[in-house]
């Protein structure tokens, strides 16, 4: 868990964008934020809007899109403001808040020093810098836009046996989802999808098994 926090915190440094996590101009959480900071976000007005009453009634003729809209659960507005408090990560229950922050800060500092030493040894030159980052096109692509065909890991786990178990669970989820989707498309509207199903649940309001019963 600590390794993942360090990875996310040091990501802009690893990418050669800024010299330290604190220099990143976007949203980032530093070790001092853990167990302390609360992020507050207001709902933007330019994207979320109140659904229109009777939207889609003009398609009552029976198109697939109209039928999907009628089965979809009613949408409500998201809250005007949401709060996210950075709490203690699981697995660190033996440490108090100060010790958690100190542990992560030590690891982040060591990682940043490692990145700087490696870049110097490889002759990679200076970091891009905060000002230059802000001048970048937010819709730009850092490399070729065509997809590659390398590894696309779905599970991160150091324990190879635990990773194998998690991958088996993932394959079983795909199998169960495909089977449920086929039955749903065949007209069986009461079929239960595996826990973790998102698209079918949001678009069509399908039933999902509770996580405790998922196999």
Domain that holds residue 8: 1-43+79-142
Please say if the pLDDT value at position 145 is more than 80. no
Give the whole-angstrom CA distance, residue 10 versus residue 76.
37
- Arithmetic mean of pLDDT, 180-201: 92
- What SS3 class is residue 85? strand
pLDDT score of 213:
47
Cβ-proximal residues to 186 (8 Å cutoff; 6+ apart), any chain: none
214 or 7: which leads in pLDDT: 7
- Arithmetic mean of pLDDT, 1-16: 93
Q: Is residue 104 part of a domain?
A: yes
Q: Is residue 71 part of a domain?
A: no
Q: Which long-range contacts (CB under 8 A, 24 or more apart) does 103-109 make?
A: 103/2, 104/2, 104/5, 104/6, 104/9, 104/31, 104/34, 105/31, 105/32, 107/2, 107/3, 107/6, 108/6, 108/9, 108/10, 108/21, 108/30, 108/31
Q: How many CB atoms lie within 10 A of CB 140?
A: 6
- For residue 39, report the phi and psi dihedrals to the nearest 5 degrees: -90, 135
Beta partners for 84?
A: 39
Number of structural domains found in the chain: 1
Q: What does the mean pLDDT of the chain come to? A: 84
pLDDT score of 215:
43
CA distances from 52 to 75, 87, 204 (A): 10, 38, 18
Furthest C-alpha separation in the chain: 67
pLDDT score of 75:
60
Q: Is residue 111 part of a domain?
A: yes
Q: Is residue 177 part of a domain?
A: no
Q: Is residue 168 part of a domain?
A: no
Each residue's pLDDT tens digit, 35-49 = 999 999 998 877 655
**CA nearest neighbour of 88 among 142, 141, 34:** 34
Q: Is residue 39 part of a domain?
A: yes
pLDDT score of 32:
92
Q: Is residue 63 part of a domain?
A: no
Model pTM above 0.75: no
Q: Is residue 7 part of a domain?
A: yes
Each residue's pLDDT tens digit, 69-101 = 666 666 666 788 999 999 888 888 899 999 999
CA 114-115-120 angle, 5° bins:
100
């Amino acid at each position: 868990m600590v390794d993942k926090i360090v990875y996310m915190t040091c990501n802009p440094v690893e990418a050669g964008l800024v010299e330290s996590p604190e220099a990143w101009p976007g949203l980032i959480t530093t070790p001092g934020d853990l167990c302390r900071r609360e992020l507050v976000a207001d709902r933007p007005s330019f994207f979320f809007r109140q659904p229109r009453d009777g939207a889609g009634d003009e398609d009552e003729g029976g198109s697939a899109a109209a039928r999907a809209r009628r089965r979809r659960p009613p949408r409500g507005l998201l809250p005007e403001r949401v709060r996210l408090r950075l709490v203690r990560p699981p697995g660190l229950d033996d440490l108090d808040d100060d010790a958690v922050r100190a542990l992560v800060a030590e690891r982040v500092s060591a990682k940043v020093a490692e990145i700087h030493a490696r870049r110097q040894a490889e002759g990679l030159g200076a970091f891009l810098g905060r000002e230059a980052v802000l001048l970048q096109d937010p819709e730009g692509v850092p490399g070729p836009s065509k997809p590659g065909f390398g590894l696309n890991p779905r599970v991160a786990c150091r324990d190879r046996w635990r990773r194998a178990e998690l991958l088996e669970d993932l394959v079983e989820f795909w199998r169960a989802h495909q089977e449920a989707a086929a039955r749903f498309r065949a007209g069986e509207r009461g079929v239960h999808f595996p826990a973790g199903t998102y698209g079918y649940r949001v678009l069509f309001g399908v039933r999902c098994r509770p996580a405790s019963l998922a196999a």
